[in-house]
Amino acid sequence: MFELKNKLEDLKLSGQDTLVYLHWTPEQWLDSDFYDLLELQTAKKPEDRQQDPEQMLKGLGLM
């Protein structure tokens, strides 16, 4: 579940980067509407996302 959420968030983040750094319009990137643009603007970077609890515990050596 977390992997799928992270892949979707990566897609949104790439759209956000395209809009910001390449100065593309939403129509050029996704031919999107206002709500799609809002989703792109709220994309979270990997370090700011919710973590998979199981992976976090493994990383801490508790599992």
Domain ranges of the chain: 1-7+22-63
Is the pLDDT reported for residue 59 higher than 80?
yes
Higher pLDDT among residues 40 and 42, named by residue: 42
Q: Is the pTM of this model over 0.75?
A: no
Task: Identify the CA nearest to 12 among candidates 46, 51, 50, 42.
Answer: 42
Q: What is the pLDDT of residue 29?
A: 66
Across 22-31, average pLDDT:
71
Is the pLDDT reported for residue 58 higher than 80?
yes
3-state helix, strand, coil in the chain (%, to 5): 65, 0, 35
Higher pLDDT among residues 40 and 44, named by residue: 44
Is the pLDDT reported for residue 34 higher than 70?
no
Residue 52: phi, psi to the nearest 5? Answer: -70, 120
Task: Identify the CA nearest to 49 among candidates 16, 7, 20, 21.
Answer: 7
